[in-house]
Amino acid sequence: MRAPGPQQREGTPDVASERLTSRPTQPTVTTSPGEHHLRFDAGRGVLLYVPAGYDGVTPAPFVLSLHGAGGNEFSGQFPLRELADDAGLILLSPASHGRTWDAIIDRFGSDVALIDRALAEAFSRCAVDRDRITIAGFSDGASYALSLGLSNGDVFGHVMAFSPGFVAPIETVGEPRIFVSHGTQDTVLPIEPTSRRIVPGLKRKGYAVEYREFEGGHTVPSDVAREAVDWFLAP
């Protein structure tokens, strides 16, 4: 299911390269609350945020959070950073190799490899609740989160897509629960050819989807972000 958006280009993803191998494990490094800057691949940035109150023993909910086009590891924390401490969320935010994620431009490749390495590093540093791991993203990051999340549903039990443009052709694994939000006045990725097609398509395939439309543009209102986090953390 591929709904076109203004930032989408033609390309066939390499199905073999979209699978992640990293899994939560017993941490081998003690990590304190706060921001931790990880470096991979000639300086590509990865930001690990450990919430206040994290004790290194109690497994915490974990979010792989992906930026939109033109973003970096810092903007990748949007829109969940302000909620992380209260919700106890560990956030991992990598930067894409180019202006946006590989599969948005062409096919899965170096960005998946970096994400896999970053996940392995985060899992070695933090006690993670295996039942509460999600991949989230905004705009291009939402398209990538949906695509990578559905192809790695054995890793991510949840997917949060804020204003996505499409889902790449993938081989799906598992049945993650999905949260999608989109503004009805979005002029960057208009809602009609994107989420209003993506969501029904996901439901037809049997996925449990929570869908939230709001009056607004290409953004994530604070109440929608809070709703997504509450949905993710619900029993």
What would the DSSP string read from start to end of 97-151?
SSSS-HHHHS-S-HHHHHHHHHHHHHHHHS-EEEEEEEEEEETHHHHHHHHHHHT
Share of the chain above pLDDT 90, in %: 83
In 3D, which of 150, 136, 140 has the Cα closest to residue 229? Answer: 136
Q: What confidence tens digit (pLDDT) does each residue in 106-146 have?
A: 889 889 999 999 999 999 999 999 999 999 999 999 999 99
- The predicted pLDDT at position 189 comes to 98
Indicate the helix (H) or strand (E) that contains 182. Answer: strand 177-183
CATH 1.10.540.10 fits 31-233, yes or no: no
Q: What confidence tens digit (pLDDT) does each residue in 190-226 have?
A: 999 999 999 999 999 999 999 999 999 999 999 999 9
Q: What confidence tens digit (pLDDT) does each residue in 38-86 have?
A: 977 666 789 999 999 999 999 999 999 999 999 999 999 999 999 999 9
Residue 55 structure tokens: 């004790």
Rounded to whole angstroms, the Cα distance separating 19 from 173 reads: 9
Phi and psi at 225, nearest 5°, equal -60, -45
Residue 94 structure tokens: 């990598």
Q: Domain coordinates of the chain in residue numbers?
A: 31-233
pTM value? 0.90
- The predicted pLDDT at position 106 comes to 83
Rounded to whole angstroms, the Cα distance separating 222 from 213 reads: 13
- The predicted pLDDT at position 112 comes to 94
Res 31 pLDDT > 80:
yes
Q: Is residue 88 within 8 Å of residue 94, measured between CB atoms? A: no
| pLDDT level of residue 10 (50, 70, 90 thresholds) | very low
Which residue is listed with tokens 């994107």? 194
